[in-house]
Amino acid sequence: MAPLGGAPRLVLLFSGKRKSGKDFVTEALQSRLGGNICAVLRLSGPLKEQYAREHGLDFQRLLDASTYKEAYRRDMICWGEEKRCADPGFFCRKIVEGVSQPIWLVSDTRRVSDIQWFQEAYGPVTQTVRVVASEQSRQQRGWVFTPGVDDAESECGLDNFGNFDWVIENHGDEQSLEDQLENLLEFIRATL
């Protein structure tokens, strides 16, 4: 299968539970590397855009961490699962279209099929990164267990994935997080 985007030097697939800090980590990495070198790609972007279009909703409001998004989250998950069942690579192909930066940070990898798609499309330049945070840390960031969301494949699909290439512990210790980000940045810079 020929990739639709440019040829990346490195693809980092970030996963983790809600409020673990995936977006925080990927945005911190991008700010240090620069937007001309590093792109943050969100699998949820094309999902939310298509869902909003088909359901007459405000796409921009679905992108932020709002109660608006939360009101539609469960239905959006079901709708996205239907799309993935019909075509497991649908959302993966959408996010790489036209990306020219050499470093790709996929901020919201949620399923084994997402990882498999990137590994098949981009091979050895693909690495997995798991962002973990304690329940207490996640609760301090506003996480509340929601049935049908936190026990769905979109949250649990990679719980038993196995060996991630990188694990970032984001329990609230700023210095520890900074040290881990520096290690990952060293690795990323070595690929350039």
- Ligand-binding annotation for 134, yes or no, is no
- Ligand-binding annotation for 111, yes or no, is no
Contact 68, 62 (CB under 8 A): yes
Contact 180, 168 (CB under 8 A): yes
- Ligand-binding annotation for 171, yes or no, is yes
- Ligand-binding annotation for 180, yes or no, is yes
Contact 109, 128 (CB under 8 A): yes
| 8-state DSSP, 12 | E
- Ligand-binding annotation for 18, yes or no, is yes
DSSP H or E segment with residue 104: strand 103-106
- Ligand-binding annotation for 20, yes or no, is yes
Q: Which two tokens stand for residue 178?
A: 């900074």
Q: Which two tokens stand for residue 20?
A: 């673990």
Half-sphere exposure of 173 toward its Cβ, with a 13 Å CA cutoff?
11
Q: Which long-range contacts (CB under 8 A, 24 or more apart) does 186-192 make?
A: 188/10, 188/12, 188/29, 188/33, 188/38, 188/103, 189/33, 191/9, 191/10, 191/102, 191/103, 191/125, 192/9, 192/37, 192/102, 192/103
Residues in the annotated binding site for substrate:
170
Residues in the annotated binding site:
17-23, 141, 170-171, 180
Residues in the annotated binding site for ATP:
17-23, 141, 171, 180
